[in-house]
């Protein structure tokens, strides 16, 4: 009886939990779906970063950038056969490099749109009249890139999305680089060139600016403009008098007083012992003469 009651309880629990598990699975499917993930992400972003623009607004701007790049690629692709038929190798080379640059930006924007569940704009189709001259297409492409450059810089002001600002700067830098290529190509065509000149290769590949390339550019310019005769410079030798300053050194001799040694003969008194005979006077009354005792002797007769 107890086992039967336990079995009934288990069956009731399974019966009640069945719809709940089904609802959980459905909830998981909604979470896995792209729309739910986007809504949940925008909910957290809106609370944490209230200054960020909505994702739909960012996606709309990214889609517009991708569409503009697709339009440029379509036009360049249509203009390329016209230039190739006319034999303009330089225009074809520039258009091919420009298509590669624009496709790179299109790929980045398309991956961003696909990642967040938005559709990618389709590439349009452009038809060109057979009578269109290659130079006309070149002028149109230059004007188109100038407008794109100014428009990108204008749209960047006040843009809150870092993704859109980065793509606009990318687009403006690409347009500016392409304008420099197109202007060099237009200048070469004015000079009658249809091949890729050394100056155009130097503009398209800055790493190739070597002494050999500079010499090639000089040779090409000389072939068109000729060798410019340099004016003869007559060298004239002019003798400039040089003033020589004589420096006279005056030596001043100062005589120092010197004590002169003068030999003088000084006569000094010399004392000489002499025997002087003096007359002696005898005083008869005295017994001593001149302090000495003397004896008087009478001379002999």
Question: Long-range contacts: 293-301, Cβ < 8 Å, 24+?
Answer: none
Rounded to an integer, what distance in angstroms lies between the CA atom of residue 122 and that of residue 79?
Answer: 19
Per DSSP, 187 falls in state: H
Question: Average per-residue pLDDT in the chain?
Answer: 76
Q: What is the pLDDT of residues 25-58, one digit of tens each?
A: 333 333 344 555 656 665 556 566 667 788 899 9
C-beta of residue 45 within 8 angstroms of C-beta of residue 53 = no
What is the length of the chain?
Answer: 301
C-beta of residue 241 within 8 angstroms of C-beta of residue 223 = no
Q: What is the pLDDT of residue 227?
A: 65
Rounded to an integer, what distance in angstroms lies between the CA atom of residue 83 and that of residue 194?
Answer: 10
Rounded to an integer, what distance in angstroms lies between the CA atom of residue 77 and that of residue 98?
Answer: 10
Unique residue bearing structure tokens 């130079």? 135
Residue 215: C-alpha distances to residues 11, 80, 210, 219, 221 (Å): 93, 30, 9, 6, 10
Q: What is the pTM of this model?
A: 0.59
CATH of 53-195, one of 3.40.50.2300, 1.20.1260.10, 1.10.150.120, 1.10.10.10: 1.20.1260.10
Max intra-chain CA distance, the chain = 224
Q: Under DSSP, is residue 197 helix (H, G, I), strand (E, B) or coil?
A: coil
For a pLDDT cut of 70, what percent of the chain falls above it? 59
CA dihedral 49, 51, 57, 62 (to 10 degrees): -80
Q: What is the pLDDT of residues 235-262, one digit of tens each?
A: 777 777 777 666 666 666 666 665 665 5
Q: Which of residues 103 and 130 earns the better pLDDT score?
A: 103
Rounded to an integer, what distance in angstroms lies between the CA atom of residue 114 and that of residue 19?
Answer: 35
Q: Quick check: 99 pLDDT over 90?
A: yes
When mean pLDDT is compared across 66-70, 116-120, 168-172, 217-221, the lowest value belongs to 217-221
Rounded to an integer, what distance in angstroms lies between the CA atom of residue 113 and that of residue 121?
Answer: 10
């Amino acid at each position: 009886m107890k086992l039967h009651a336990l079995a009934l309880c288990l069956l009731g629990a399974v019966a009640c939990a069945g719809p709940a598990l089904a609802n959980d699975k459905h909830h998981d499917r909604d979470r896995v779906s792209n729309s739910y993930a986007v809504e949940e992400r925008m909910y957290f972003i809106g609370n944490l970063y209230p200054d960020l623009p909505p994702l739909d607004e960012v996606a709309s701007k990214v889609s517009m950038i991708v569409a503009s790049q697709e339009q440029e690629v379509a036009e360049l692709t249509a203009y390329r056969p016209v230039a190739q038929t006319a034999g303009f190798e330089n225009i074809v080379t520039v258009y091919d490099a420009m298509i590669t640059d624009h496709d790179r930006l299109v790929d980045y924007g398309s991956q961003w749109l696909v990642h967040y569940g938005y559709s990618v704009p389709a590439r349009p189709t452009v038809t060109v009249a057979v009578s269109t001259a290659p130079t006309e297409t070149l002028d149109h492409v230059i004007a188109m890139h100038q407008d794109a450059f100014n428009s990108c810089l204008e749209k960047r002001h006040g843009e809150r999305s870092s993704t859109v600002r980065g793509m606009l700067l990318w687009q403006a830098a690409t347009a500016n680089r392409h304008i420099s290529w197109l202007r060099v190509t237009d200048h070469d065509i004015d000079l009658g060139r249809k091949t890729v000149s050394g100056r155009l290769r130097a503009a398209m590949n800055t790493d190739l600016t070597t002494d050999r390339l500079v010499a090639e550019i000089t040779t090409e310019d000389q072939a068109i403009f000729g060798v410019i005769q340099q004016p003869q410079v007559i060298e004239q030798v002019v003798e400039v008098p040089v003033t020589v300053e004589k420096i006279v050194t005056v030596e001043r001799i100062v005589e120092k007083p010197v004590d002169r040694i003068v030999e003088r003969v000084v006569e000094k008194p010399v004392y000489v012992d002499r025997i002087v005979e003096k007359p002696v006077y005898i005083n008869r009354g005295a017994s001593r003469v001149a302090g000495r005792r003397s004896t008087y002797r009478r001379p002999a007769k």
